[in-house]
Amino acid sequence: MIETFLAELPHGITLSCRASGERGRPVLMFLHGFPEAAFVWDGLLEHFSQPAHGGYRCIAPNLRGFWPSSAPPEVEAYRAKHLAQDIGALIQLETDAPLAALVAHDWGGAVAWFLANRSPALMQRLVIVNSPHPGTFLRELQTSPAQQAASAYMNFLIRPDAEAWLAEDDFRRMWGFFATHGAAPGWLTEAVKDQYRAVWRHGLTGALNYYRASPMRPARPGDPACDAVQLPPSVLTADLPTLVVWGLDDIALPPALVDGLEAYVPRLTLNPVAGASHWIVHERPAELASWVGDFLRGDQD
């Protein structure tokens, strides 16, 4: 059973959260990406809260900018340090112990990589689902024409009129983000669309500000973007047991992004998944639950 609650953080941000499982149990936290929301994790929240699968307290916040969580208007408010501050504060509000694991997808993964480097004591394990490590992502953005082409959409999302374009015609262009080989996937039913509409109709500015606040996008004339970024090794290491699940058919994030990942993640378990796309959370929920469950038990260490 899914419950909802508002977490009021000490620095003035409120995160709307979805949760399942008894308070006081070890906590799993799940972070969504763009253009999603916390509801995408409902199946895993219910699964891992069951005694047969660990009996965890499972929490999935709507990240700042995603209704009905706080959505500061300033682009600067969506820098990685602020997003990570939210999640760090939420962890400390919800448990006195480290998380059993932080599980994250897409932009949620960017926050998780940041936290794993800066505040590893907040979690025992890390699970990343199709979210590039900043070291390999910067490498590919700066040197790979294939990645530069795959990430070109980011420069559309930072346009000042992106909200209006994306909201047109019942969010027609938003549904296009989920298309595989030009067609809508089978999991994108009208019921699932209604869950997305319930978030998007309250505005897209917060979600788009993630892209506006980050230089991790292809360079273009007059905008150096990623070419102006240098990341020292000290901010790239995630030295804790880490499972990376990667759908190999991800159009925006090709498999080259996991090449060399072990240089930054010494305790890495890599699970490449053929026939799965960026939206593997929707496409393979039972398998994802199994892989994460094995990792939590130490079966994949």
What per-residue confidence (pLDDT) applies to 40? Answer: 98
| Structural domain count, the chain | 1
Whose CA is closest to 223, among 141, 136, 111, 135?
A: 141
The verdict on residue 144 lying in a domain is yes
What per-residue confidence (pLDDT) applies to 182? Answer: 63
The verdict on residue 108 lying in a domain is yes
What per-residue confidence (pLDDT) applies to 184? Answer: 80
Residue 99 is part of which domain span?
3-296
- CATH code (residue 193): 3.40.50.1820
Whose CA is closest to 147, among 258, 274, 234?
A: 258
User: Is 97 in contact with 122 (CB distance < 8 Å)?
Assistant: no
What per-residue confidence (pLDDT) applies to 179? Answer: 86
The verdict on residue 220 lying in a domain is yes
What per-residue confidence (pLDDT) applies to 181? Answer: 61
The verdict on residue 301 lying in a domain is no
- List the chain pLDDT tens, one digit each, 301 residues: 999 999 999 999 999 999 999 999 999 999 999 999 999 999 999 999 999 999 999 999 999 999 999 999 999 999 999 999 999 999 999 999 999 999 999 999 999 999 999 999 999 999 999 999 999 999 999 999 999 999 999 999 999 999 999 999 999 999 999 986 666 899 999 999 999 999 999 999 999 999 999 999 999 999 999 999 999 999 999 999 999 999 999 999 999 999 999 999 999 999 999 999 999 999 999 999 999 999 999 865 5
**What's the pTM value of the predicted model, to 2 decimals?**
0.97
C-alpha to C-alpha distance for 57 and 70, rounded to whole angstroms:
23
CB atoms within 10 A of CB 111: 25
C-alpha to C-alpha distance for 242 and 185, rounded to whole angstroms:
29
Q: Which residues pair with 55 in a beta bridge?
A: none
